[in-house]
Copies of this chain bind each other. A is one copy, B any other.
């Protein structure tokens, strides 16, 4: 059985979980707070980051969400998520990188720091200016999703791919933290509603991070 080291609001772990869900792969969750910088966790992953996924019987320890997703894509045929011609696959991967770097850096990471890390670790209050900036960035990035969805059913083309799972992972964490307003983003809203209703997304949406409540619409299929 696979064991996934993660915490409920880690977007990279959510991306992996959505992929495992689509592929029908079971796993146990192991709670890891990377900000505690446990020595034993650094022994598993020298980068000290979640997610890490472990299969003890096969003596496998995989880390970095990108490497983990490619691994399951290569070893499990069901529900291919990096699919199509080489240019299609490049488009999927560049959108995953866009989510994991641009959306994460401009939206998810500042929201996580201001509304999660400050509360749980530093016991200080969020900086309203940084929150405003992150929410402005979210609108700009949602515009980009709208633009992609004007031409495509899913973010990278005609079929569901890892690009959608990655975008939904970041969006869901940002939404949990009150940073997402879908007003004016009908394309993105419809697309996200479709993802929310997938069976693999349901368990994620029902989990809570201790001490932090999501807005009422967070886990609603209609929002």
B71 with A101: CB separation less than 8 A: no
Is the CB of A168 closer than 8 A to any CB of chain B? no
- Please, which residue of chain B has its CB at the minimum distance from the CB of A93? B67
Is the CB of A62 closer than 8 A to any CB of chain B? yes
Interface residues of A, dominant DSSP: helix
B71 with A90: CB separation less than 8 A: yes
Most B Cβ at <10 Å: residue of A62, A94, A97, A98: A94
A window 85-130: CB within 8 A of B: 86-87, 89-91, 93-94, 97-98, 101-102
**A24: chain B residues within 8 A (beta carbon):** none
Is the CB of A221 closer than 8 A to any CB of chain B? no
Q: A119-145 toward B: CB 8 Å interface, digit per residue (1/0)?
A: 000000000000000000000000010
In the complex, which of the residues B46, B60, B98 contacts A47, with contact meaning CB atoms closer than 8 Å? B98
